[in-house]
Structure 1
Amino acid sequence: MTDKPIPAPFRADGLVAAVTGGANGIGLAAAKLLVTMGCRVVVTDRDGAAAIEAATAIGPDVAFGLELDVAKEASVDAAFAQIDAKVGRLDILINNAGRAIRKPSLELSLADWDAVVAVNMTGAFLCARAAATLMIRGGAGGVIVNTASIMGLSGGGLYPNISYQTTKGAIVNMTRALAVEWAPHNVRVNAVAPIWTRTGFIGQLEESPELMARIQAVTPLGRLAEAEDVAYAIAFLASPAAGMITGHTLAVDGGFLAQ
């Protein structure tokens, strides 16, 4: 990150932000950046110990960690109730938790399909609903930034990933629908759509030089995204600088979708 002063429109002093899937990867990068913008950040993750460890590393005076399994309604409700009880407000939600099960469609079981849908689509809705409830109750509105994917805007993946592609496409339209529904309450809803990003989420894909070469070949900028690349886009959409932007999905894709 940078030590240079952040211009006023990009500051978020005194605001409270929650990040799902925040213990690593894009979520952790976003949490760190939001702190530099002036936020107090709630790092949430299905691995509660990892969430607490990440928040402690960021700084216990500016962050705290909570266990949150986005696929379980009771867990979502409990986590957002804890946020409400501890800080009494929520201004920003980074709806980032995600899951992928990469199998050819003819080999994908219903259980695998349901597991991805539960996190990527239903979980994103549950967290958006819980966050918006607090934002609207507070009267000041707020901002939700969902993590979609270029695979939600294009079917041109390099390997079969039907459940992921379908759910990320749903996130794109959920973003539009919630933006329109909640605009009267001053709740802005946007999304980012990253290309392949160098995090643990892509797992063993990085172990294939052939696949990495193909990714670089289909990306005009010729590289994978870094977690910070995506975090910067998230932070912009969450900031007052994006105050007239809602219902938009911002591709962070090195030019992939422009082809």
Structure 2
Amino acid sequence: MDGAVAVVTGGARGIGLATARALATAGARLHLLDLDGDEAKLAAGVLSADARGHCLDISDEIEVDAVFTDIARAEGRIDILVNNAGIAIRQSTTELSLVDWQKVVDVNMTGVFLCSRAAGRVMTEQGFGSIVNVASIMGLSGGGIYPNISYQTTKGAVVNMTRALAVEWAASGIRVNAVAPTWVETDFIAALKEDPEFVSAVERLTPMRRLAKPEEVAHAIHFLASPAAAMITGHVLPVDGGFLAQ
């Protein structure tokens, strides 16, 4: 991946930062996009001298188009996009407000669309590119530990958006794949991890009997983004310790 230009949303921490680190180690030039611009710039500075951090609300169409245009203009191309940014509002369906539903839709579904569209315009023109979306096992199952309807619905949308974009853009040389992680040891589930019953439930439902580490998801993303996966598109790769195999 020497010299490849990679853009990672939600790149300041967690799976995004672990992915950025894996891609940087492989030689890619990183652009980390995050709602916390200061943290994104700090993370980029730690990664490498040529990595860059940007403040971006991925649900804002104007911001997304402007940032991707700036990156493409500065770098001359965009080779890789990792759509990692996401949020969760864990609440039962009967108690979930329309406002909170829309917040999750705006980030997890519309944000992936906007970033994919912006990167896709650049990649279509250059005739190549690789997009990896971060879906979830919740987009391929009904969950079961706690209600999370907005997250499950939007991650299911990401799964089928991945397939639809893969088919639409295959002739343009753009591959689109996704990973579907289980629960990962990041700040995203920090509150949940404090509950011993939750951890026990995850371990019980996972044949490998543990949560995933960010680096384990990052390695799968790295593979799908790389030339090693040149004939793979429209695929959703679970990184779940066997959760979905049961």
Equivalence for 1:118:
106
SS in 2 for 1:234: helix
Q: Supply the distance in 1 between the matched residues of 2:65 and 2:143 (Cα, whole angstroms).
A: 36
Tell me the CA shift for residue 86 of structure 1. Answer: 1.5
- 1:197-236 equivalences in 2 (<5 Å): 197-236=184-223
Aligned mate of 2:168, from 157, 176, 181? 181
Equivalence for 2:55:
67
- Aligned: 1:76 with 2:64: yes
Counterpart residue type for residue 167 of structure 1: T
| Stretches of structure 2 lacking an aligned partner (at least 5 in a row) | none
- 1:55-204 equivalences in 2 (<5 Å): 55-61=44-50, 63-139=51-127, 141-204=128-191
CA displacement 1:11-34 (0-9 Å, x = unmatched): x11210000000000000000000
Tell me the CA shift for residue 85 of structure 1. Answer: 2.2
Counterpart residue type for residue 113 of structure 2: F
Q: Is the 8 A contact 2:24 2:48 kept in 1?
A: no
Aligned mate of 1:52, from 10, 17, 41? 41
Bigger shift: residues 125-134 or 78-87: 78-87
Counterpart residue type for residue 236 of structure 1: F
Q: Is the 8 A contact 1:151 1:157 kept in 2?
A: no
Q: Supply the distance in 1 between the matched residues of 2:171 and 2:189 (Cα, whole angstroms).
A: 38
SS in 2 for 1:19: strand
Tell me the CA shift for residue 157 of structure 1. Answer: 2.9
Provide runs of 4+ in structure 1 moved above 2 Å: none
| Number of positions where the alignment pairs a residue of Structure 1 with one of Structure 2 | 246
Counterpart residue type for residue 57 of structure 1: V
Tell me the CA shift for residue 156 of structure 1. Answer: 2.6
Counterpart residue type for residue 95 of structure 2: E
Bigger shift: residues 75-84 or 217-226: 75-84
Q: Is the 8 A contact 1:68 1:75 kept in 2?
A: yes
Counterpart residue type for residue 163 of structure 1: S
Tell me the CA shift for residue 137 of structure 1. Answer: 1.3
Counterpart residue type for residue 181 of structure 1: E
Q: Supply the distance in 2 between the matched residues of 1:46 and 1:76 (Cα, whole angstroms).
A: 12
Q: Supply the distance in 1 between the matched residues of 2:161 and 2:67 (Cα, whole angstroms).
A: 22
SS in 2 for 1:125: helix
After superposition, the CA RMSD in angstroms is: 0.7
Tell me the CA shift for residue 59 of structure 1. Answer: 1.6
Q: Is the 8 A contact 2:57 2:64 kept in 1?
A: yes
Counterpart residue type for residue 10 of structure 2: G
SS in 2 for 1:107: coil
Q: Supply the distance in 2 between the matched residues of 1:247 and 1:121 (Cα, whole angstroms).
A: 17
CA displacement 1:1-59 (0-9 Å, x = unmatched): xxxxxxxxxxx112100000000000000000001111001011011111100000112
Q: Is the 8 A contact 2:185 2:214 kept in 1?
A: yes
Q: Is the 8 A contact 1:175 1:190 kept in 2?
A: yes
| Stretches of structure 1 lacking an aligned partner (at least 5 in a row) | 1-11
**Superposition TM-score, scaled by structure 2 size:** 0.99
Q: Supply the distance in 2 between the matched residues of 1:116 and 1:252 (Cα, whole angstroms).
A: 22
Tell me the CA shift for residue 234 of structure 1. Answer: 0.2
Q: Is the 8 A contact 1:142 1:186 kept in 2?
A: yes
SS in 2 for 1:202: helix
Identity of aligned residues (%): 62
Aligned mate of 2:15, from 11, 26, 32? 26
Q: Supply the distance in 2 between the matched residues of 1:156 and 1:116 (Cα, whole angstroms).
A: 17
Q: Is the 8 A contact 2:10 2:84 kept in 1?
A: yes
Q: Is the 8 A contact 2:135 2:156 kept in 1?
A: yes
**Superposition TM-score, scaled by structure 1 size:** 0.94
